[in-house]
Amino acid sequence: MASEPFNEALVRHLRDFVPLLVVDLDAGGIVRDLNAYARVVLGDRLVGRPFSEVVVDFVGGFDLAALLTPSEGVYKIDLVTASLAPETYFVRGLVNGSTTVLVGHPDFAGTERLRDEVLGLNRQLSTLGRQVQKANAELRELNELKTRFLGMAAHDLRRPIGAVITYTEFVRDEAGEAMDPEHVGFLDTVLTIALGMKRLVDDFLDVAVIESGKLRLQIGRVSVEQVIQPAIDLARLAGHRKSIEVVTDRIDGDILVEVDAERLQQVLVNLLGNAVEHSPPGGRVTLDARCDGDRLVLAVSDQGNGLTADQQARLFAPFGVVGTQKTAAERSTGLGLVIARKIVDAHGGGLRVESEAGAGATFVVEVPVSHGLREGPAPGSSPPQ
């Protein structure tokens, strides 16, 4: 058997056994082949992938185009090895047409420097991680204190506000006929303000309960009629003052669902109330209630000014002010939708808005339910109207 020519044997030995990095790239910087040493250092998986994937570039100074351009220059680059340990190499690009062969040898001093930098960064990250954990613990403690204070303050305010409402209604009902219209108007103003304060206090209490993690749903089997009717009745009272019609496309009242009826009513009261407040006098608010498979879908639509994409993005933020104008200058706490979403989330469902500026808005509630069809109305339910 003839012996291998000396030059070819020398090239094969240098290619396969000397710690020399040889990487064959195409014109786009994709690795086409690696020598044996490069396969050990960088891994076989690099073949067919961009060479830049293994380059460590802390300062954004790596320029692959320079390596792919004929030049006598030698570049120092940092590479991530197959063992994930960084190493530094001096490389030169040997260009032949559309092919570039990167040839490089280790820079041991540079590798030590690079590893020291990585270790230093790891220590900084560990320190920052401990600082973040400490800051998060402090924030959690402050949030708990805030929640407790909010709950206590709201609870203490509820009784005097309730007394103001009770006595104002009593005086107006008992002595209203003996008072002149101006004084009756004063009482109505006091009552309106007190009712607004009560809503604010109720919202604060709900937020305190939710943020403390103490929101507990009282799941029961009820008819859809029992869920939606109380909210519709309240919305019709509010709509009557603005000549707004509240209508509903509802499913059969004898369909049963398993939800927290009181909490879901709270969601609907908020959504329907917002719809009335944002609809113009003489407009219409619609509640569509239906079962879609194993989900109860409740959609509340209004004829207001609608919401832009930016307003929708900020809609569910606590105390969020989205800039929408209510048609009768009604005031809001900015918490109603936050509470509504939390209640729906607790049911394992979702609350979303569908709207375009100038085209009204539709708020859609979807909650999973276990429901039986045509099993008769739940106790105490009323027939659909």
The tens digit of pLDDT for each residue in 195-224 reads 777 777 777 777 777 766 667 788 888 888
Residue closest to 303 by CA, chosen among 352, 350, 250, 242: 242
- Residue 364 has a pLDDT of 92
Using H for helix, E for strand and C for coil, what is the string for the chain?
A: CCCCCHHHHHHHHHHHCCCCEEEEECCCCEEEEECHHHHHHHCHHHCCCEHHHHEECCCCCCCHHHHCCCCCCCEEEEEECCCCCEEEEEEEEEEECCEEEEEEEECHHHHHHHHHHHHHHHHHHHHHHHHHHHHHHHHHHHHHHHHHHHHHHHHHHHHHHHHHHHHHHHHHHHHHHHCCHHHHHHHHHHHHHHHHHHHHHHHHHHHHHHHCCCCCCCCEEEEHHHHHHHHHHHHHHHHHCCCCEEEEECCCCCCEEEECHHHHHHHHHHHHHHHHHHCCCCCEEEEEEEEECCEEEEEEECCCCCCCHHHHHCCCCCCCCCCCCCCCCCCCCCCHHHHHHHHHHHCCCEEEEEECCCCCEEEEEEEECCCCCCCCCCCCCCCCC
Residue 14, burial from CB neighbour count under 10 angstroms (0-12, 13-18, 19+): middle
When mean pLDDT is compared across 145-149, 152-156, 354-358, 380-384, the lowest value belongs to 380-384
User: What pLDDT shows up at residue 59?
Assistant: 66
Output the pLDDT for position 376: 36
Residue range(s) occupied by CATH 3.30.565.10 in the chain = 220-368
pLDDT digits (tens, 9 = 90+) for 278-303: 888 888 898 988 888 888 889 999 88
Encode 308-325: b = buried (16+ Cβ within 10 Å), e = exposed: eeebbeebbeeebebebe
Q: Do 270 and 340 contact (CB within 8 A), yes or no?
A: yes
pLDDT class of 378 with cuts at 50, 70, 90: very low
The one-letter code for the residue type at 8 is E
The domain 220-368: what is its CATH number?
3.30.565.10
Per-residue tokens: 96 = 């032949």
| Residue carrying structure tokens 């006098």 | 281
> Is the predicted pLDDT of residue 327 greater than 80, yes or no?
no
Q: What is the pLDDT of residue 363?
A: 92
Looking at residue 234, what is its pLDDT?
Answer: 84
Give the tokens for residue 349: 């469902």
For the domain made up of 134-211, give the CATH fold: Helix Hairpins (1.10.287)
Token pair 């933020």: residue? 317
pLDDT of residue 365: 92
Q: Tell me the per-residue pLDDT of 16-70, one tens digit each, with 9 for 90 and over.
A: 667 888 888 888 889 998 888 888 888 888 899 998 888 888 666 777 787 777 7
pLDDT at 375: 38
Q: Can you read off the two tokens belonging to residue 199?
A: 């809503």
Q: Which residue type does 363 have?
A: F
What stretch(es) of the chain map to CATH 3.30.450.20? Answer: 6-106
Mean per-residue pLDDT, 335-340? 82
Stated length of the chain = 385
Rounded Cα gap, residues 276 and 189, in angstroms:
20
Residue intervals of the chain classified under CATH 1.10.287 are 134-211
The more confident residue out of 354 and 250 is 354
108-154 residue pLDDT tens: 787 778 778 778 888 888 888 888 988 888 888 877 777 677 667 76
Question: Which residues, listed in sequence order, are joined to residue 221 by a DSSP beta bridge?
Answer: 258
- Sheet containing strand 350-355, edge to edge, reads 245-249, 284-292, 295-301, 361-368, 350-355
pLDDT-based confidence at 321, cuts 50/70/90? low
Architecture of domain 6-106: 2-Layer Sandwich (3.30)
